[in-house]
Amino acid sequence: MTIRVLLADDQALLRATFRILIDSDPDMTVVAEASDGQEAVELTRTHRPDVVLMDIRMPSTDGIAATAGICGRQELSGTRVLVLTTFENDENVARALRAGASGFLGKDVSADVLLAGIRTVAAGDSLLSPTATRALITRFLATPDTDERPAPPERLAALTPREREIVALAALGKSNAEIADALFLSPLTVRSHISRSMAKLQARDRAQLVVTAYQSGLVRVRPPQAD
């Protein structure tokens, strides 16, 4: 099955480079290009791509607002947003995560990493390694959005005790294999629990499941220790 990709970046040369790279892969195709966030939302509604490769900094409507505009629409629930960012240095990463982004990549990644990232997000997985999860969530909590209401704890009532346990471990950056080892389960069982938890909490993917775990208070970050 061909992965359909929409490119959203205000730099025409960069879009052309990504198009050549993506179209060179037999399992992917670029269906449209947008030069700003509003156009990205409109073209996503028209073409229903599997993945939107989204730049954050764009004129007019930026990538964060566009991500929220895409991820907030039920009819676009099948589209995943993969954000291109300067990662450690970009303070907007936390806002993009709240908006519904499924993953993050730096613009300096290799061609193989970019294509692998698109495949990962298209498959419904979040592009957050355990290390990236810890880094992003720490930043997410360090830069709270005062305009956003936290997820109420009662949302967790739908989860079984085992599901809560597994979601909490996932929020700490543990991989399925690490969770399986810690709880003496099979990785397949862990994956099933994660999938059911996402369905119950209406999380688009693992990234949003982690955000909900922190917003609801299921997991809290310990304050840094003084030297």
pLDDT tens for the 227 residues of the chain, in order: 899 999 999 999 999 999 999 999 999 999 999 999 999 999 999 999 999 999 988 888 899 999 999 998 989 988 999 988 765 555 666 777 778 888 888 788 889 989 988 998 888 766 655 555 556 656 655 555 545 545 556 778 889 999 999 999 988 778 888 999 999 999 999 999 998 998 898 887 787 787 788 778 787 655 444 44
Whole-number pLDDT of residue 40: 96
Count of structural domains, the chain: 2
**Cα separation, 144 vs 158, whole angstroms:** 26
Q: Say if residue 91 is in the same domain as residue 186.
A: no
pLDDT score, position 96: 79
Give me the pLDDT at residue 225, please. 47
> What CATH number has the domain bearing residue 165?
1.10.10.10
Residue 40 shares a structural domain with residue 101: yes
Is there a single domain that holds both residue 9 and residue 121?
yes
Complete DSSP assignment for the chain: -PEEEEEE-S-HHHHHHHHHHHHTSTTEEEEEEESSHHHHHHHHHHH--SEEEEES--SSS-HHHHHHHHHT-GGGTT-EEEEEE-GGG-TTHHHHHHHT--EEEETT--HHHHHHHHHHHHTT--B--HHHHHHHHHHHHHS--TTSPPPPGGGGGGS-HHHHHHHHHHHTT--HHHHHHHHT--HHHHHHHHHHHHHHHT-SSHHHHHHHHHHTTSS-PPPPPP-
Q: What is the pTM of this model?
A: 0.72
Q: Identify the domain containing residue 21 by its residue range.
A: 3-127
Task: Say whether both 96 and 190 belong to one domain.
Answer: no
Residue 223 lies in a domain: no
Q: Looking at residue 226, what is its pLDDT?
A: 44
Measured between alpha carbons, how far is residue 178 from residues 127, 186, 225 in Å? 17, 10, 26
Assess whether 174 and 107 both reside in one domain: no
